[in-house]
Amino acid sequence: MQRPGTSIMRSASHTSRLVNCPACGGPSVYGPENSFRPFCCARCKSVDFGAWASEGFRVPAEAPPDDQAFGDPRLQ
Ligand SMILES: [Zn+2]
């Protein structure tokens, strides 16, 4: 059913490129199809952010008043 060799051509016309994931050092697609860029996956993105937040760049105790604007009531 599938013709061999056709899947290789898909990446030719793409502007995406491979970068090293800042969290795990593995290959990460830096392009529109990777919403976690420059990280390779959601886990790496959250891990790196967790480390970043614990290194002294902590958010002040008082939360901004517009914090609730980001919540979607339908998701509750
Ligand atoms: Zn990674």
Give me the DSSP letters along 20-68: E-TTT-SEEEESTT-TTTTSSSHHHHHHHHHHHHHTT-PPPSSPPGGGG
pLDDT per position as a tens digit, 5-44 = 655 555 545 578 999 999 999 999 999 999 999 999 999 9
How remote is the CA of residue 45 from the centroid of ligand 1, in Å? 7
Reported as a pLDDT band with limits 50, 70 and 90, residue 47 is: confident
How remote is the CA of residue 14 from the centroid of ligand 1, in Å? 21
How remote is the CA of residue 36 from the centroid of ligand 1, in Å? 9
How remote is the CA of residue 69 from the centroid of ligand 1, in Å? 30
Domains of the chain: 15-56 (3.30.50.10)
Mean pLDDT of the 43-63 span: 68
How remote is the CA of residue 48 from the centroid of ligand 1, in Å? 9
Q: Which residues contact 63 (CB under 8 A, 6 or more apart)?
A: none
Residue 5: what pLDDT?
62
Residue 44: what pLDDT?
93
pTM exceeding 0.85: no
Residue 75: what pLDDT?
65
